[in-house]
Amino acid sequence: MKYRLISMAYGQIGMIQAAAGFFVYFVIMAENGFLPMKLFGIRKMWDSKAVNDLTDSYGQEWTYRDRKTLEYTCHTAFFVSIVVVQWADLIICKTRRNSVFQQGMRNWALNFGLVFETVLAAFLSYCPGMDKGLRMYPLKFVWWLPAIPFMLAIFIYDEIRRFYLRRNPGGWLEQETYY
């Protein structure tokens, strides 16, 4: 495995994907009353079964069971956000130098994979019993959306990278990012 591939996968694209997951997590927590600054330092109280009156940013009290439901919902949303940004990751991996617009989307196995991973994520999120088996809770549809700007950022970033690769073959960008 090449250094450049690891750098792209984990150091660049992977960081954007992780940011998408954490962003969705914070969006859901904030929407439910826990603003980001309120979350820091409450782990001990959050995980304590004895605390059934943990106060959120707006003064609402949360029981242990309700907190855990919210936490597992955030875990599900983090997973779904990774699926959403993987759409872009799968598309950008189709070609190393050409634009996706030049290459097209004629690979039906890849297209099926995009649909399948989305259907699987929806199944795991909405299928009854997943809350017990995998602790995956149903999401509001709008909680699928905050990861989309990150997906677009990955796609646009890689299209620009490939544009400069084609424009300056053998240059610094190719030496550092062409895998």
Residue 174: the pLDDT is: 83
Domain ranges (residues) in the chain: 3-177
Residue 1: the pLDDT is: 59
d(CA 120, CA 83) in angstroms, rounded, equals 10
Q: What is the pTM of this model?
A: 0.90
Going by the DSSP 8-state scheme, the letter that residue 98 receives in this structure is: S
170 phi-psi bin (left φ>0, alpha ψ -120 to 50, beta other):
left
Q: How far is CA 179 from CA 6, 58, 91, 165, in A?
A: 9, 49, 16, 12
Two structure tokens written together for 137: 């809770």
Residue 154: the pLDDT is: 96
Name the CATH topology of 3-177.
Calcium-transporting ATPase, transmembrane domain (1.20.1110)
Chunked into runs of 10 residues, the chain (179 residues) has average pLDDT values of 77 94 98 97 97 97 98 98 96 88 92 96 95 94 98 96 91 83
